């Protein structure tokens, strides 16, 4: 009698077990592939120079991509927005040149302060990575340094070509339209205005951190927010025009994401 009860129980349990088991892969129900791991570009102190050479090749050969019809829309959008802002510079720059409303802000976010803060970010990340034995932190810091160097090379070359005067070099009631090809005294060490070196550096670091730690939703907001503060400080300090800052931000983002991280 007991064996009959056990047999009936088994008959009842088998369908229930199959109904609640994980679905089997069939032609109508193929297995769902797991998402690919995020691309990790090999990075180390030894690879820094080879990576930089590869990055610079991609940067300076970018016009060839445009000639093949690649990236035309985003590039055109950035260039168009920059041209529009350049046209508006003679209208908005005099306000910042004459106003004293940002005195307190400028005393905190000085040029040196923002440089030190930008450099401190990858240094702190690398030190924390060493202490915590966190390879992701260490590689993120190295990628940020790589991006900083890439951006510095691009900025120096552009400044030496366009040699744009900084707003501070123009009298408050001066001509803010005739600014190009005027700062011609420091080839190789140009202090020109276009693009903003502080802004391109800040956005390069922010983009690396935001892209690598984007799963933490607050990280991109903080990273890009701080980079935006750096960019705004360059305008209120009369070190750069709005168009200089915009192009600096666009270049910092693009070089970090598409050249350094290659995402």
Read off the pLDDT of residues 252-263 as tens digits, 9 standing for 90 and up.
999 999 999 998
> Which domain range does residue 157 map to?
69-260
CA dist 57 to 3, 64, 185, 252, 260, Å?
A: 79, 11, 29, 17, 12
Given the structure tokens 């802004």, which residue do they identify?
199
Residue 162 and residue 244: Cα distance in Å, rounded?
A: 11
- Residues with Cβ within 8 Å of 34's Cβ and at least 6 positions away in sequence, in order, are none
Read off the pLDDT of residues 129-183 as tens digits, 9 standing for 90 and up.
999 999 999 999 999 999 999 999 999 999 989 999 999 999 999 999 999 988 7
Predicted TM-score (pTM) of this structure: 0.83
Residue 212 and residue 10: Cα distance in Å, rounded?
A: 52
Supply the pLDDT for residue 55. 95
Residue 210 and residue 83: Cα distance in Å, rounded?
A: 28
Query: Is residue 21 included in any domain, yes or no?
Result: no
Supply the pLDDT for residue 36. 45
- Give the HSE-up count for residue 234: Cα atoms under 13 Å, Cβ half-sphere: 29
Supply the pLDDT for residue 258. 95
Overall number of domains in the chain = 1
Query: Is residue 13 included in any domain, yes or no?
Result: no
Q: Which two tokens stand for residue 73?
A: 């829309």
Closest CA to 137 of 36, 228, 216, 217: 216
Query: Is residue 26 included in any domain, yes or no?
Result: no
pLDDT grade for 41, boundaries at 50, 70 and 90:
confident
The answer to whether residue 4 scores a pLDDT higher than 70 is no
Phi-psi region at 163: left, alpha or beta (left = phi > 0; alpha = psi -120 to 50): left
Q: Which two tokens stand for residue 227?
A: 């980079």
Query: Is residue 47 included in any domain, yes or no?
Result: no
Supply the pLDDT for residue 187. 63
Residue 159 and residue 45: Cα distance in Å, rounded?
A: 29
Query: Is residue 51 included in any domain, yes or no?
Result: no
Supply the pLDDT for residue 2. 46
260: three-class secondary structure by DSSP: helix
* Sequential DSSP letters for 154-211: HHHHHHHHH-PPPGGGS-TTS-SS--TT---S-TTS----SS-HHHHHHHHHHHHHHH
Query: Is residue 55 included in any domain, yes or no?
Result: no
Query: Is residue 36 included in any domain, yes or no?
Result: no
Q: Which two tokens stand for residue 228?
A: 């935006």
Supply the pLDDT for residue 186. 60
The answer to whether residue 244 scores a pLDDT higher than 80 is yes
**Exposed, middle or buried by CB within 10 Å (0-12, 13-18, 19+), for 56?**
middle
Query: Is residue 33 included in any domain, yes or no?
Result: no
Supply the pLDDT for residue 208. 97
- What is the average per-residue pLDDT within 96-110? 95
Q: What is the CATH number of the domain that holds 79?
A: 1.20.144
Read off the pLDDT of residues 191-227 as tens digits, 9 standing for 90 and up.
789 999 999 999 999 999 999 999 999 999 999 999 9
Read off the pLDDT of residues 69-96 as tens digits, 9 standing for 90 and up.
999 999 999 999 999 999 999 999 999 9
Supply the pLDDT for residue 25. 46
pLDDT grade for 13, boundaries at 50, 70 and 90:
very low
Q: Which residue has the higher pLDDT, 29 or 147?
A: 147
Burial annotation 20-37 (CB, 10 A radius, 16+ → b, else e): eeeeeeeeeeeeeeeeee
Supply the pLDDT for residue 153. 95
């Amino acid at each position: 009698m007991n064996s009959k009860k056990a047999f009936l129980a088994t008959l009842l349990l088998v369908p229930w077990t199959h109904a609640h088991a994980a679905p089997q892969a069939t032609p109508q129900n193929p297995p769902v592939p797991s998402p690919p791991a995020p691309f990790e570009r090999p990075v180390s102190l030894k690879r820094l120079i080879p990576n930089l050479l590869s990055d610079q090749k991609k940067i300076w050969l970018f016009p060839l991509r445009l000639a093949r019809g690649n990236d035309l829309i985003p590039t055109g959008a950035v260039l168009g927005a920059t041209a529009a802002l350049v046209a508006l510079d003679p209208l908005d720059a005099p306000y910042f040149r004459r106003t004293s409303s940002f005195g307190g802000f400028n005393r905190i976010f000085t040029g040196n302060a923002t440089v030190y803060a930008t450099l401190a970010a990858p240094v702190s990340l690398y030190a924390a990575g060493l202490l915590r034995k966190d390879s992701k932190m260490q590689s993120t810091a190295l990628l940020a340094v790589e991006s900083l160097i890439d951006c510095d090379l691009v900025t120096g070359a552009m400044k030496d070509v366009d040699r744009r005067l900084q707003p501070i070099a123009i009298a408050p009631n001066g001509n803010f339209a005739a600014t190009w090809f005027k700062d011609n005294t420091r080839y190789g060490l140009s202090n020109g205005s276009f693009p903003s070196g502080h802004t391109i550096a800040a956005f390069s670091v922010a983009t690396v951190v935001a892209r690598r730690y984007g799963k933490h939703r607050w990280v991109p907001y903080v990273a890009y927010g701080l980079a935006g503060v750096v960019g705004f400080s360059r305008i209120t300090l009369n070190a750069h025009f709005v168009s200089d800052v915009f192009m600096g931000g666009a270049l910092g983002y693009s070089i970090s994401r598409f050249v350094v991280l290659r995402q």
